[in-house]
Structure formats: structure tokens, C-alpha cells
Structure 1
């Protein structure tokens, strides 16, 4: 009996479409709404880059006009006399004050903000975490001038005791040496800025900690870890890039804060070794206080200082981006 065998040979392989063919097919299958959305998204990105470039060109042009007539060293001069002939001005005091006050604010605000975020997400009951989070959200919406008035009327008079204590126990360091003047110093500015940026860092950190995979926390608990060990081994590593991003947002506000700083600081163009002695200044505070009475050349000089603040902000954001990029496993931006 003859048995007819079936042909079991594999069919010839189909040719794979080229990259150009796939692109053409994708363009043909794209709906009009998708094309419109793609165009709007691309246009928004190009518009943002154009605006940033226009700001940089404007600041650079006006800064060159002022710096070309400056008789002092723009980076190291401890004066700001744009109305004299010849004009002499520099940003040494402003750069020092801006950096120092922002560092003080970050040192105070970041640990407290992270602790509050951890408390709201992992310790506080729901009926308590909700109202606290709502109040923190409201604090983020308070205008800076309100913070400044509160700082001048409430905070500054209450800092005499703190300054006396710091001088008594840490005055030997020189950083906390107090000569008994009004507490309108860089430390005061740093404390006020810390209060202002605290809601921003707390809110972003809280949302990041909420995204920690529940399976990781349950696995750590199943292995016998305590709640703090769960936070240390699972929550904090996962949210590290988010906390860095939140801190950079807060730092950006601290660097550019104007009215609150101008309200509580006694500005002067000298650098004090102690954080408790009045004096110093910041870029934003100097621009706000002198812009109204400045002539055309004086405004160009202030714009030159604004260019330096613009560059500092870009460098800070670039550094934050580089730090986050090193944690690719936790950074959604690198996905």
C-alpha cells in the first residue's frame, strides 16, 4: 500500500521591509490627529529653544555694552557704582551672597522636606497625611512678597535668641560669630528661602515615594526588614533621582528669589566671614532694588549681572541632569 508523504519543507523566508519602507508605512498609517499632535509637540520644543536662545542673545548683547565700559574687574570688584565716571562695578559680592544663601537654604530644607515626604507616605495615617499634604500645597502657592513681609515682621525679631546661642557655642568657628547687629544676614535669608522652597521639594518627593513598587517593599518586609530598613533599601534608592530633581527645583527658586530677600536683608557690597553679620547681597535682590532708579547704562550693568545668574542656573540644571543620568535604572527620563 502506497503512502503519499506530505511536503513538509519550510516555506521560503519572506523578505524583511527596509527601514525606508517602514517609515513610509508608518507615515501612511498615521492619523491626522497624530500628525497634528506631532507637529505641535515638535513646534513647542523648537519654540522653547528659540526663546532660550533669544534670552541669551539679549542678555549677552546688553551685558557686553556695560562690561566694555567698566573700569573695574566685573568678576572680582567689590563695588557697584554705575553712575560715576568712569563706572566701576562687579559681581563678587552678589555671586558670593547668592551661592551662600542658596546653600544654607538647601542644607536646611532638603533633609526636612525628605523627612516630611517619608512621613506622609509611609508613617502617617491617611486621615492625617491628607490634611498635611493639603496645607503644604497651599504653602507652595503663597507669593514671595508675603513670605518677605512675614520674615521682616515675625522671623527677624525672633532670631536674636538663635543668633546668641550660635555665637555662644559656635562663634569660635568664625562662621557664627555675631557682633550684636540686627539679624538681617545671610543666615536669615537662608532660613527664609528654606521655608519658601520646602513645599516644592516636599511635594515632588512625596509623589516620587508613592511610585515605589509595592512588591519591593513587601519583599523587604517578608525578609524581616524593619520599616526604616525598607525605606533605606527600597524607597530611598528608587526615589533618589526624584529627590535630586525636586532639590534642583527648589534651588532654582532660591537662586532667583527677589522680594523676600530684599525685605529681610540689609544689603552692602562687602563679604562677611560670619553668616550672622548683616551685609552682602544677591543677584536678584540687587536687580530689584536698583533697577527702578538706574539709567540706561545702569540697567545694562544689572542685565550683565542677570546674565551671570542665567549661566549659574543653566550650570545647576546641567549638573542635576548629569547626576540623574548616572542613575538610569531609576530615571524615567532616560527610558
Structure 2
């Protein structure tokens, strides 16, 4: 007997033509998506290179936006973008999580179908409609809440409002309008449906055997959800949240209609004045000079890279979760 006889026998499987075609279509689609994303990044970099070469490292630290005079940067609008997205995700996460758990675990079958349809229809509402609703109705009804929060939690700097007198009931309400808080709430309602849909789908895929086993051992419905559904669906929670965050970072029209643009770092989320990268581009696009257009492309490149970083970070976290690994 030779050593070759001890080697394991190799097996090969011949794929059917349909399997090979399907595999080729999937591979082509994946490569196409990566190619398009790369071309977008290269396009933005090529158009922004002139402005980036003039601004240098100060592009990330300068708050003003005067590209024609050579004094411009995205420090203010980048901070505003992150604050609006943070407010939006902070409100949308518990709302989406509670809604998805109710639909998947508690709602009767007929009501579940109705709620799923309503959530999907809410995701199809145009952003300009949310912007109109936020501008004409929401912010006028939120001034009292914003005043109360700023009075009670004035010791926390982001929730304080400069120039507001809590002892004066006639202090102007314009201090609390067109703020990061209002824009964040509007964006939160826009990203809640897609977050809810992703979480609901993952929760409903939790193993039936583990559900029944937990209930058979005497667990309550909430105990089963806490020990089985939520751990299994952690990937869906993180993935849905990051997807909502990605949309919140790039939301344009609704934010543009609500905020009062300021080119300074505005840490007070309840105070009048905010800004974002996408709103800056929408605001200055029509009147921009050739060099100003290059500066706007540089701002868009920064937002593009920030969104990519968020999505890649989320995908790595989801892949380590149970639901992400199984899919």
C-alpha cells in the first residue's frame, strides 16, 4: 500500500447550467454595485480636489463657509449632521423596537397584516411631506415641550438655550423653533418605518423550537422575548438602526425646510439654528461658483465617506451576531 492510498478521495460536484447562471448573475450584481460605489467616490474626489488642495487640513476644523474667499470648512455642518442624526436615532430606536415587537409577538393575525401595511405605506411618504408637516404643525406644538425641557435640564449644556429666561412667560418662542431637536424628530419619523420592517422580519425568524421551549419551562411571554427573540434579533436591531442612521445622515429636503442655517458649531439642540452637510449642498448649489461647486463636492465626499464608515462598521457588528451569522 502506498502513501497515495491514505489520501482522502476528492469529490467534485457538477453544477447545473441554471445554478451556474444564477451564480454568475449574483456575482455580476455584486461587482456592479461595488464598481458604481467606487466610481461615485472617484467622481467626488476628482471634483473636490481643487477645493481640498486649497483648504487643506482646515477643511475639517473651519466653521465658516466662504469658499470664494478661501475660508471654508465643514466643522459646523458636520457636527450639525451628527447631532440631527443622533436625535433621530435616539427617538426612532425605541419606537421601532416597540412597534416591531408588538407586530411580531403580540398583535392578532388580522391586525398584524393591517399594521404591516401601514408601516410600509408610511415608508413610502415623500420626505417633502414630512418637511411640510414638521414646519407648519410640529415645531409650533413643540415649543412648550422644548421650553420645559430647557428649563428643567438647563444644567446639561446641550439642552440649555442661550438667552432664554425661564421666569419670563413672554420670552420669544422663536428661540425654540427651527432647531436640531425639531429636525431630528421629523427625521426620526422618516426612518422609523424602515427600521421597524427590518427588526420585524428578523424577530419573526427566531427559532420556533426555542420559543416553545422557553414557554414550556414556565417563562412568560416577555421572558421568552427577552431570552430568545431579542438575543436572536440583535443583528436585525443593529442593522436596522445603522440603516436608519445612514438615511438620517443624508436626509436633505425635510431638514432643509425646517432648520435655520447657522455656520457655527451649535451644541444646543433645543435652540434656534442648525445645519447639515446635505442642507448646505441644497442651499448653496444654485448660486455656487466653479470653485464653490468644488467645495460643495468636498462636503459631499465627506458625507459619502462618513456613511460608508457607518455601514461597514454596522455590517461587521451584524456579522458577529447570531441572526447575522445565520443569514
Match of 2:117 among 128, 134, 149: 134
What is aligned with 2:23? 38
Deviation at 1:272, TM superposition (A): 2.3
Comparing 93-102 with 31-40, greater Cα deviation is found at 31-40
After superposition, give the CA deviation of every residue in 1:163-214 in whole Å (9 maximum; x if it has no partner): 1110221122222223341411111111111111011111111111111112
Gaps of 5+ in 2: 165-172
Matched, 1:255 2:240: no
* Structure index of larger Rg: 1
Deviation at 1:35, TM superposition (A): 3.1
Match of 2:303 among 278, 300, 309: 309
Which stretches of structure 1, 4 residues or longer, exceed 6 Å deviation after superposition? none
Considering Cα pairs closer than 8 Å and 6+ residues apart, tell me whether 1 or 2 has the greater RCO: 2
What is aligned with 1:242? 236
Matched, 1:111 2:91: no
- Please list, as runs of the form range in 1=range in 2, the aligned pairs for 1:47-58 lying within 5 A after superposition: 47-58=32-43
Structure 1: how far apart are the matches of 2:40 and 2:82? 23
TM-score by length of 2: 0.90
Structure 1: how far apart are the matches of 2:275 and 2:213? 51
Matched, 1:96 2:90: no
Match of 1:229 among 223, 234, 253: 223
What is aligned with 1:168? 151
After superposition, give the CA deviation of every residue in 1:271-299 in whole Å (9 maximum; x if it has no partner): 22311112231111111111111121111
TM-score by length of 1: 0.88
After superposition, give the CA deviation of every residue in 1:239-284 in whole Å (9 maximum; x if it has no partner): 0001111111111110100000000100110122311112231111
Deviation at 1:229, TM superposition (A): 0.7
- CA 1:16–1:273 in structure 2 vs 1: closer, same or farther (change >3 Å)? closer
What is aligned with 1:3? none
Matched, 1:287 2:272: no
After superposition, give the CA deviation of every residue in 1:132-170 in whole Å (9 maximum; x if it has no partner): 221111100011111111111111111111111102211
Structure 2: how far apart are the matches of 1:151 and 1:67? 35
Structure 2: how far apart are the matches of 1:316 and 1:134? 29
> Secondary structure at the residue paired with 1:68?
helix
Gaps of 5+ in 1: 1-12
Structure 2: how far apart are the matches of 1:273 and 1:205? 31
Match of 1:276 among 244, 250, 270: 270
- The Cα RMSD (Å) is 1.9
What is aligned with 1:192? 186
Structure 1: how far apart are the matches of 2:203 and 2:177? 37
- CA 1:127–1:41 in structure 2 vs 1: closer, same or farther (change >3 Å)? closer
Deviation at 1:46, TM superposition (A): 1.7
Matched, 1:77 2:62: yes
- Kept after mapping to 1: 8 A contact 2:89/2:241: yes
